Amino acid sequence: MLTYTSSYENFKMFKPKRPLVMGIINFTPDSFYAQSRAVTEIQISEKIEKMISEGVDIIDVGAYSSRPEADDVSVDDELGRLLQGLKILKKIAPDIPVSIDTFRAKVVETVFDKFGHFIVNDISAGALDDKMFNIVAKLQLPYIAMHMKGNPQTMQNNPVYGNLIKELTTYFTEKIKHLHDIGVKNIIIDPGFGFAKTTEQNYNLLANLKDFKNFGLPLLVGFSRKSMLYKLLNATPEESLNATTVVNTVALINGADILRVHDVRAAVETVKIIEQLKNKNN
């Protein structure tokens, strides 16, 4: 497990010796995968303890469901859920690295005031709140910039690209330059699998994942139990662990640095096997 410190200059996730596993806990009643939801103290505590026992590196928490066509949630409701869950998390595992899945600058600022440093995981890369980049720069927080068109309510309304990989490359080039220009030092990029992309587009993106290593930044991927898997296989999210492991394996071979998952043990085992193979090739 990583050592978590308040000095993010020394936070080793930005030059990881091996791929990291980020476990998902949703403080929501409506996230697409029911088993990821945790709203009571008992549910939250059990999920945290299970993830730690299975070898999680980072715990990612969110209080706003970003599934397609999800209901909007007020800032106050998002903060209420987050602060309750984080209080439990910090009590059980004060040293675990935490990322907050939010696109709202006020949420970032409020959580920072109460709990200190964390990683910001922004599905919109600043597009849904024009104050986000400046807050991240001011607080010197690590920042995950994800690609998405529109918002969770509209993103799957016929997403069209002239050239998917070229458009995402341009998108990240512009976002990274802006962030660097205002002083954000630690940036992770996430191509946004399942966000404003059709099934075909998601697999095109996976096939060309290595292209995003050209930025020289940590690369995060999130496939866990998503529709790009279960729709292709005529299955359900609950039946998609095996498919998740398959695409996580492909992503690791193609350079992924962080796997964002619901099932920590399976991802940790996948990382161990791929790392063993890499060691045999050296």
Q: What is the pLDDT of residues 185-235, one digit of tens each?
A: 899 999 999 998 999 999 999 999 999 999 999 999 999 999 999 999 999
- Checking if the pLDDT of 9 tops 60, the result is no
pLDDT for res 281: 66
Domain count, the chain: 1
- Checking if the pLDDT of 6 tops 50, the result is no
Q: Which residues of 39-62 are buried (b: 16+ CB within 10 A; e: fewer)?
A: eeeeebeebbeebbebbbbbbbbb
User: Considering the domain boundaries, does residue 232 fall inside one?
Assistant: yes
pLDDT for res 17: 83
What does the block give as tokens for 167? 């458009």
Rounded-to-integer distance, Cα 248 and Cα 22, Å: 12
pLDDT for res 7: 35
Question: Which region holds residue 66: left if phi is over 0, alpha if psi is between -120 and 50, else beta?
Answer: alpha
pLDDT for res 32: 53
- Catalytic positions, please? 226, 260
Specify the CATH number for the domain of residue 159: 3.20.20.20
63: DSSP letter: S
110-164 pLDDT per residue, tens: 999 999 999 999 999 999 999 999 999 999 999 999 998 865 555 555 678 899 9
- 3-state SS class at 223: coil
> What order do you get walking across the sheet with 258-261 strand by strand?
187-190, 143-146, 119-122, 98-101, 58-62, 20-26, 258-261, 220-221
User: Considering the domain boundaries, does residue 11 fall inside one?
Assistant: no
- 3-state SS class at 43: helix
pLDDT for res 188: 96
Q: Judge whether 213 and 219 are in contact, CB under 8 Å.
A: yes
User: Considering the domain boundaries, does residue 243 fall inside one?
Assistant: yes
Containing structural domain, residue 146:
17-281
User: Considering the domain boundaries, does residue 155 fall inside one?
Assistant: yes
Q: Which residue has the higher pLDDT, 7 or 20?
A: 20
Rounded-to-integer distance, Cα 189 and Cα 219, Å: 5
Mean pLDDT of the chain: 88
User: Considering the domain boundaries, does residue 159 fall inside one?
Assistant: yes
Q: Which of 6-10, 84-88, 128-132 has the lowest mean pLDDT?
A: 6-10
User: Considering the domain boundaries, does residue 4 fall inside one?
Assistant: no
Nearest to 97 by CA among 233, 203, 4: 4
User: Whole-structure pTM over 0.85, yes or no?
Assistant: yes
